Amino acid sequence: MPSRLRSSTARDRWEHRSVRRERACSSGSQVRQWTRAGSVWLGRRRPDAQPRRRRAVAGAVGAALGRYGFPRTKCRPWYRRRHGDAGVNDDQLLRYSRQIMLPEFDVAGQQALLDASALIVGLGGLGSSAALYLAASGVGSLTLVDYDTVEVSNLQRQIIHDQKSLGQAKVESAAKRIAALNPDTRVERVRCRLEGAALTRAVAEADVVVDGTDNFAARYAINEACVRARTPLVSGAAIRLEGQVTVIDPRRDDAPCYRCLYGDAGDEALNCAENGVAAPLVGIIGSVQAMEAVKVLAGVGENLAGYVLHLDAKRMEWRKFTLTKDPDCPACANP
């Protein structure tokens, strides 16, 4: 590693001042931090700084450098100069660094997640995985909806709960787990069946809705509320050894909705309690739901609007089907 530390672009510079050599070289351990998005990764065994000398550094955020003998580090990333102090802070840069370094995300994408709110209806197997990954990804606000309590049979697949959660309300158990994972994520708990005007209001206040329910009546109600509010919906289902995910995006006039997919032919007998489900399957489908929600919120890539992604876990085969809008759909033809 050359002695001169440099940033890849002018906007990726970090400055530190007044660093005493004895403090800078006090630790011989490998310092591994990541640069801000757009910079190269720099790792050093000992950062050799000269006293009272200014130097541009790409390789760590100010909060991290402080742990390695740089107590007066000053961080001046480009977005602070553009947006002031309301943007991503040093701790958040470090926490989400692996995501921010993706060119599709960058700081702007992460800021969009931090400013976003997601409504998660159902904290079973799908909702558990989705909630954890949305919180870990940095979604700023989560509204958790579930009227049920944690039972021992839930623990096989609902990984947001644990043995100590037995008997607790699922929304309370999930909120505690999210707080332990990412204290920055704000959590609102709704312990009831969300329906009617309350459902419409909650959907309208969210930037994306994640449906983790296990019955068609609830899915149809959530779908229709999202269509009316023009709020994107990420719908998932898992049963036995099969699962599927689709995105309903009412912001697009040509986008089909959930009722376009199933009409009125939903089979209420298809649920986990009656048919069983493999534990990892719900984790996979819930994680795909989280990924699609993150893409919707951050404006990254192409989501599954207009498609159904199906997984046959028995053969580990993924298939993608095109979903077309039903011109006579009672939900979205005339919302």
Going by pLDDT thresholds of 50, 70 and 90, the confidence category of residue 333 is: confident
Which distant-in-sequence residues (6+ apart) come within 8 Å of 181 by Cβ?
A: 132, 135, 136
What is the full DSSP assignment across 186-241? EEEEE-S---HHHHHHHHHH-SEEEE---SHHHHHHHHHHHHHHT--EEEEEEEBT
19, pLDDT greater than 80: no
Task: Supply the pLDDT for residue 88.
Answer: 84
249-259: average pLDDT = 92
Going by pLDDT thresholds of 50, 70 and 90, the confidence category of residue 49 is: very low
Higher-confidence residue of 40 and 54: namely 54
Going by pLDDT thresholds of 50, 70 and 90, the confidence category of residue 6 is: very low
Nearest-10 Cα torsion for 249, 253, 256, 257: 60
Domain boundaries, the chain: 10-89, 116-322
Where is 174: in which H helix or E strand?
helix 170-181
315, pLDDT greater than 60: yes
72-76: average pLDDT = 42
User: Which pTM value belongs to this model?
Assistant: 0.77
55, pLDDT greater than 50: no
283, pLDDT greater than 70: yes
Q: Give me the percent of the chain exceeding a pLDDT of 90.
A: 64
220-238 pLDDT, tens digit per residue, is 999 999 999 999 999 999 9
Does the domain made of 116-322 have the CATH classification 3.40.190.10? Answer: no
Going by pLDDT thresholds of 50, 70 and 90, the confidence category of residue 132 is: very high
Going by pLDDT thresholds of 50, 70 and 90, the confidence category of residue 275 is: confident
Residue 320, strand partner residues: 309
Task: Supply the pLDDT for residue 20.
Answer: 33
Which distant-in-sequence residues (6+ apart) come within 8 Å of 127 by Cβ?
A: 120, 121, 144, 146, 160, 174, 210, 212, 286
253, pLDDT greater than 60: yes
- Contact between residue 140 and residue 117 where contact means Cβ atoms under 8 Å apart: yes
57, pLDDT greater than 70: no
Report d(CA 42, CA 36) in Å as an integer.
11
Report d(CA 279, CA 97) in Å as an integer.
30
18, pLDDT greater than 50: no
Report d(CA 15, CA 205) in Å as an integer.
41
Going by pLDDT thresholds of 50, 70 and 90, the confidence category of residue 89 is: confident
170-212 pLDDT, tens digit per residue, is 999 999 999 999 999 999 999 999 999 999 999 999 999 999 9
Average per-residue pLDDT in the chain? 80
Report which residue type is found at 279. Answer: A
Q: Give me the percent of the chain exceeding a pLDDT of 70.
A: 71
Tokens 């996979």 belong to residue: 284
Report which residue type is found at 20. Answer: R
62, pLDDT greater than 60: no
Report d(CA 300, CA 16) in Å as an integer.
34
Report d(CA 215, CA 267) in Å as an integer.
9
Higher-confidence residue of 322 and 273: namely 322
